Amino acid sequence: MRVGIEVGGTFTDLVAVEDDRALTAKVPSTPANPDIGAMDALAAAGIDPAGVTELVHGSTVTTNAVLERKGARLCLFVTRGTRDILLLQRHDRASIYDLRYRKPEPVVARRDTFEVAGRVTADGTVLEPLDPGDARALIARALGDHRYDAAAVCFLHAYANPEHERAFAALLREAAPDLAVTCSSDVAREFREYERASTTTLAAYVQPVMAGYVNRFHRALERKGFRGHFSIMQSNGGRMPAQAVARNAIAALFSGPAAGVIGAVRGAVAAGYRDLITLDMGGTSTDVCLVRDAVPDLVPMTRVDGLPVKTPVIDIVTVGAGGGSIAWVDDGGLLRVGPRSAGAHPGPACYGRGGTLPTVTDAHLVRGTLPEEGFLDGTMSIDADAARESCRDLAGRFSMSVQEMADSVVRLADASIVRAIQQVSTERGRDPRDHVLVPYGGAGPLHAARVAEELGISTVVVPPHAGVMSALGLLRADHVVHRSRTRPTPVSPETVGQVAELLEELEGEARDRLAAADAKAVVIDRTLDMRYPGQAFEIPVAVADLSTLTAPGLAGLFADAHRRAFAFAKPPGEPVEVICARVAARIAPLDLPNLPLAAPARAERVTDLVERGVSQRARLLARAAVPEQPVPGTLLITDGGSTVHVPPGWSARRDLHDNLVLEQV
């Protein structure tokens, strides 16, 4: 039995596969102790951990540790003269018109930052050696009466030569064996000093939290008899053994959203769709991602709480519009939805856990697009009266009926999702009309048709088991290791061999991390970050075959990539340079069988709803009852963990892969 468990902000989802049998479960998350929610999901599915051979896990533990500032007590050691690097940051402003704007607060204070003598130049030459005696004295003073849980070491130009960092880390471990030590050369061996220092401190900050969580969850599983393989999802869309991720926790920063994208892409590609926009709407937020030719874009850096993190992540845009997002009125008297969320506790008012504020979920229930009966296949009861009561005050302020207010809340959530999709499509020169929309998560299929309509997308593909797609994506994800190295190199016939050697070196490192696997099963992806001299940014260029790597060929690949991004490129012969090399080694998981749909639990019936100010009669039916021939809306289709809304002007049919295909008519 293989099990995927994804901990979200509101619900914890589980998918289990054994031969041709599949189990799914969705239980409330326990934000204070996410592992409890994960164990609850196993219990709800009736799974004995002793019978599980493989468990893949994704959670928001690292993200929450940063957002809530509940990480380790941290100290930072930097090269002499760079103590203020985390405070100086960059000269840009995230909000240029905000007179009260403040730069993001780093996770380590200046008083906990210590300068170390010794200097390495940008090409790796040792300019000033590290003195072990001076270093030991500094460590003694720094640690002194302070009780730190972790230490970050980020020396100038350590990406080019990590010798000083590793020697200093050894002295730290010698002086304080229980201290968790993180070196920048082990986390982000790339240039740009502020971003590298930020990544290193964040990695050190969350490492004890993630390690403690993984160990606690693993011990709980072992007490129940689990002896299988335990792995964690990474932000790059691949998974790694749990203990490896515990040592590099920053790699799991956005594991849940990444898992959903992988699950949706693998399912859609099997059905013949390759250009997609994924829409993951859960309880707390909505994540969207554009996928070209079956491959989601990967970016080398992201941000969390405004702080840069140099780790490969799937290019996902997130907006605070989830099922638990709260509707409110701003100072100007305008209705807003999100980003604040009711979360798992107290949750939407209809959950009956003490929530009283109106949320998107409450609004769907009030306007009728979320059926009151059979919520989560009848495993969870909801309070429709509480939902209506939560919307009453807002309705009064705008002189609307409760149903009209609920309809307005849902339409505002639609608008937020449309803006997010525009960020990953039209704002990057890509036409959303050339893609199909793939919604999942508990609320995604409720909004998908109207969002697609606004964007001019004519086809929506709702995958089976959409409500637990992130958990399913955990089982569909490859085992992946990423390695990178900054080494600025002008492209010429004399230097192209050096570029090939660097890629081969990184490939060897990545393969070593997957040493337990069959070498023939390993797939290697190579990318070079390139630019014209003087540019302040790089463009990723894929390199398929090292044996054909030549200077003109590499320059041509860069020109093509530059032209796709900016609609122009310099004439052939203009100098270009390689800045950073990246290699990913991946091993595909075992194939998953087609997961059967649950049989219809009840007969088809008719229900009433209000949508866009119009009262409608809708057919309510189970997903397995949808035929292969198009059925016109208005429809509400229940799918266990989610509900699909098919409005007027749209039809729905079920294809051979059990996808629901919604098309404009």
Q: Is 60 exceeded by the pLDDT of residue 517?
A: no
Q: Is 70 exceeded by the pLDDT of residue 407?
A: yes
Quick one: what percent of the chain has pLDDT higher than 70?
Answer: 97
Strand partners, 614: 611
Strand partners, 18: 21
Per-residue pLDDT, averaged over 157-179, amounts to 95
Residue 599's pLDDT is 64
Q: Is 90 exceeded by the pLDDT of residue 438?
A: yes
Q: Is 80 exceeded by the pLDDT of residue 388?
A: yes
Among the residue ranges 28-37, 528-537, 592-601, the one predicted with the least confidence is 592-601
Residue 516's pLDDT is 55
Q: How far is Cα 593 from Cα 5, in angstroms, rounded to an integer?
A: 18
Q: Where are the alpha helices (DSSP H) in 456-582?
A: 469-476, 496-513, 551-566
How does 401-438 read in b/e, with b if 16+ C-beta sit within 10 Å?
Answer: ebbbbbbbbbbbbbebbbebbbebbeeeeeebeebbbb
Per-residue pLDDT, averaged over 194-215, amounts to 94
Confidence of residue 659 (pLDDT cuts 50, 70, 90): very high
What digits encode the pLDDT tens for the residues 250-307? 888 888 889 999 999 998 998 899 999 999 998 888 999 999 999 898 889 998 888 9
CA distances in angstroms from 446 to 230, 647, 661, listed in the order given: 34, 10, 14
Token pair of 579, please? Answer: 């800045």
Q: How far is Cα 197 from Cα 190, in angstroms, rounded to an integer?
A: 10
Q: Is 80 exceeded by the pLDDT of residue 515?
A: no
Residue 530's pLDDT is 96
Sign of CA dihedral 255, 478, 538, 432: negative
Q: What is the Cα gyration radius of the chain?
A: 26
Quick one: what percent of the chain has pLDDT higher than 90?
Answer: 64
Residue 281's pLDDT is 92
Token pair of 230, please? Answer: 């335990």
Token pair of 635, please? Answer: 């429809």
How does 593-632 read in b/e, with b if 16+ C-beta sit within 10 Å?
Answer: eebebbeeeeeeeebebbbeeeebebbbbbbbbbeeeebe
Cβ–Cβ under 8 Å, residues 411 and 610: no
Peptide bond into 648 cis (omega under 30): no
Q: Is 90 exceeded by the pLDDT of residue 495?
A: yes
Count CB-CB contacts under 10 A for residue 365.
26
Question: Could you tell me which of 409, 328, 323 has the C-alpha nearest to residue 29?
Answer: 323
- Top pLDDT among 590 and 587 is at 587
Where in the chain do CATH 3.30.1490 domains reside? 479-587
For every residue of 237-277, DSSP letters joined together read S-EEEHHHHHHSGGGGTTHHHHHHHHHHHHHHHHTT--SEE
Q: How far is Cα 255 from Cα 63, in angstroms, rounded to an integer?
A: 9
Residue 343's pLDDT is 78
> How many residues are recorded in the chain?
665
* Average pLDDT across the chain, whole number: 90
- Tell me whether strands 229-233 and 54-58 are parallel, antiparallel or unpaired: parallel
Q: Is 309 helix (H, G, I), strand (E, B) or coil?
A: strand
Cβ neighbours of residue 274 closer than 8 Å, sequence gap 6 or more? 268, 291, 292, 293, 294
Q: Is 6 helix (H, G, I), strand (E, B) or coil?
A: strand
Strand partners, 56: 4, 231
Cβ–Cβ under 8 Å, residues 58 and 233: yes
Count CB-CB contacts under 10 A for residue 479.
22
Per-residue pLDDT, averaged over 440-466, amounts to 94
pTM, two decimal places:
0.88
What digits encode the pLDDT tens for the residues 72-118? 999 999 999 999 999 999 988 888 888 888 999 999 999 999 999 99
- Helices 384-397 and 402-424, interaxial angle, to 10°? 90
Residue 376's pLDDT is 66
- For the purposes of burial, counting CB atoms within 10 Å of the CB of 19, is it exposed (0-12), middle (13-18) or buried (19 or more)? exposed
Residue 566's pLDDT is 87
Cβ–Cβ under 8 Å, residues 259 and 470: yes
Per-residue pLDDT, averaged over 362-385, amounts to 82
Q: Is 90 exceeded by the pLDDT of residue 233?
A: yes
Cβ–Cβ under 8 Å, residues 218 and 57: no
Give me the residue label for tokens 């790699």: 251
Confidence of residue 544 (pLDDT cuts 50, 70, 90): confident
What digits encode the pLDDT tens for the residues 107-155? 999 999 999 999 999 999 999 999 999 999 999 999 987 789 999 999 9
Q: Is 80 exceeded by the pLDDT of residue 634?
A: yes
Residue 10's pLDDT is 79
Residue 174's pLDDT is 94
Q: Is 60 exceeded by the pLDDT of residue 519?
A: no
Residue 601's pLDDT is 60
Residue 219's pLDDT is 93
**H or E, element range at 193:** helix 193-223
Per-residue pLDDT, averaged over 430-436, amounts to 93
Cβ–Cβ under 8 Å, residues 1 and 42: no
Confidence of residue 546 (pLDDT cuts 50, 70, 90): confident
Residue 358's pLDDT is 94
Question: Could you tell me which of 139, 134, 132 has the C-alpha nearest to residue 114?
Answer: 139
- For the purposes of burial, counting CB atoms within 10 Å of the CB of 18, is it exposed (0-12), middle (13-18) or buried (19 or more)? middle
Confidence of residue 520 (pLDDT cuts 50, 70, 90): low
Q: Give residue 43's identity as a one-letter amino acid code.
A: A
**H or E, element range at 279:** strand 276-281
Q: How far is Cα 210 from Cα 243, in angstroms, rounded to an integer?
A: 10
Sign of CA dihedral 330, 334, 337, 342: positive
Among the residue ranges 312-321, 338-347, 587-596, the one predicted with the least confidence is 587-596
Residue 322's pLDDT is 87
Per CATH, is 479-587 categorized as 2.30.29?
no
Q: Is 80 exceeded by the pLDDT of residue 357?
A: yes
